[in-house]
Structure formats: structure tokens, C-alpha cells
Amino acid sequence: MKPSSESAVAAKAALTVVAITFVAEAAIMEALAYFGYTQISLATALLDAAALSLVIAPPLYWLVLKPLRREFERRLEAEVMAQDMGRLAITDALTRIMNRRGITVSLLDAMAQSERYSAPLTVVMADIDHFKLVNDEYGHKAGDKVLAAAAGIFADALRMPDKVGRYGGEEFLMVLPHTTLAHGRKIAERIRAAAAAHKFDIGQKNVRLTVSLGLAQFRKGEDLEQLISRVDKALYEAKAGGRNLVATGKKR
């Protein structure tokens, strides 16, 4: 709550006290008049009420309104902290995209939507080719830079409703809702080309790397394990085919 808001609350409290005090005093005057006492003038009553409010309003604010404001701020802070913790729980600390848990939840949600509305859904698994050699030759810090840069390439190549997350190690999972396999392959090819053209800054120098991608379209009725298994097989096909490829898996 801002200082101006506090002042407004205090002013409202003071006016409320004046009104209550004036009404109470008017009632008292009526009672006195009933018993034959001289009635106090309206102006005098209003001045008395205003004077009394100056005495009552500050304690009322500090004893009632101030604690309520502090409780409101405490609860608001707790809600913000809970939201931040929720985001951290599904975010990969290195790449700043979703972690395995986050992208899996997104995939499950997309599968449910696809199942319900019969909308196409394509899933892509990307793997950085020869990533182990980067760690072995240049060190793990260089490898971390490559992972972060790759995550940026993937995120930039995707559309607004698409999701990407680090699935594990150098593997990344992408969820493409409302996307057929043919359209998903075009997106995957765009990602592959962008990665191949990128110069990865590892601190000591720039290196060229490629990615392999496997993809599969969700089939109505299959579960998460079945879908991921088909995407993994497609990725293995791309790796076995020479890497720096996009594969959709063998047809059954």
C-alpha cells in the first residue's frame, strides 16, 4: 500500500469517526432535551464531534487499520513468494527455460487438449551433436554456455503457443500444439538450420555445432510413455543417419 493510500485511509477513518461521533452526540442531545435539558446548538455539536475525532482517529488508525494493512501486505508477499517458488520449480536454472518437470506438465496438458478437441499435436526431441566432446575439450563451463545458447535458438524458432524445455543433459523437448507432423518437420528443419549457422561462444573461441531432431505426432489414445518412446526412436534415427538431421521415425 502506497503512502497516498495510507493518507486516504486515515482521512476516511477520521471522517467516519466524525460522523459516528456527531450521530451519537445528536442522540444524546435528543435524550437531554427529552428530560428538559437545554439543547446544544448544531454548530457546537459539530465542533465537539470534530474535536473528539481528532482524539479518537489516530488510535483507531494505529490500533485497527495499521495492523490490517500489515496483514494484507504480509499475505500479498506470501502469495508472490509462492508464485515465484512455483516458477522456480519448473524452470531450469542454467538455460532459464522449463525443466523436465515443467515441459512434461506442458506436454500432458497439450495431449489432453488434443485428445478432447481432436487437434493435431507434434512433439520434437532435439539433441546437441557431439556435446560430450565440448565438455571434454573445453570444459563444463563451455558446455553450459552451449546449452544456454541452444535453448535460446530453440525458443526463438518457436511460435507463441509452442513450448520448449530441457529434458535432460543436452536433450530438449518441444511441444507444438495444433501442428501436424508435416508442419512440425518444417519447424524442426528451421531449428536445425539455425543451430548449424550459429557460432557458439564458449569463452575461448567460437565453435560450430549441429543438432539432431526427432519428432512424432500424437496419436489419440496413447499415453505419455508411448509418445515419448516414438519421439526417442525418431531422434535415434536422426543420430544413426549421420546427425544434423530431422527424422520422423519409421512408419509401422
Over the stretch 96-141, which tens digit does the pLDDT of each residue have? Answer: 999 999 999 999 999 999 999 999 999 999 999 999 999 999 999 9
pLDDT at 36 over 60: no
Q: Is the pTM of this model over 0.85?
A: no
Nearest Cα residue to 121 out of 76, 66, 184, 69: 184
Beta strand spans in the chain (E): 121-128, 163-168, 171-177, 199-201, 206-208, 211-217, 246-247
pLDDT at 19 over 50: yes
- pLDDT (average), residues 181-193: 97
pLDDT digits (tens, 9 = 90+) for 154-164: 999 999 999 99
Give the residue extent of every domain in the chain: 3-89, 100-247
> What does the pLDDT read at residue 26?
61
> What does the pLDDT read at residue 41?
57
Q: Is residue 237 among the annotated active site residues?
A: no
Q: Is 135 helix (H, G, I), strand (E, B) or coil?
A: helix
Max mean pLDDT among 76-90, 190-204, 227-241 falls in: 227-241
Model confidence at 251, pLDDT cuts 50, 70, 90, reads very low
State CA 22 to chain mean position distance. Answer: 51
Model confidence at 75, pLDDT cuts 50, 70, 90, reads confident
Q: 18: which residues sit within 8 A by CB, 6+ positions away?
A: 49, 50, 53
> What does the pLDDT read at residue 163?
97
Mean pLDDT, the chain, rounded, equals 82
pLDDT digits (tens, 9 = 90+) for 198-234: 999 987 788 999 999 999 999 999 999 999 999 999 9
Q: Are 116 and 164 in contact (CB under 8 A)?
A: no
> What does the pLDDT read at residue 84?
52
CA–CA dist 46, 53 (Å, integer): 10
pLDDT at 244 over 50: yes
Instruction: Please give the share of the chain, as a percent, with pLDDT higher than 90.
Output: 60
> What does the pLDDT read at residue 37?
47
The catalytic position among 170, 171, 189, 237 is 170
Of residues 150 and 70, which shows the higher confidence score? 150
pLDDT at 28 over 90: no
Superfamily for the 100-247 domain: Reverse transcriptase/Diguanylate cyclase domain (3.30.70.270)
User: HSE of 117 in the Cβ direction (CA atoms, 13 Å)?
Assistant: 11
pLDDT at 177 over 70: yes
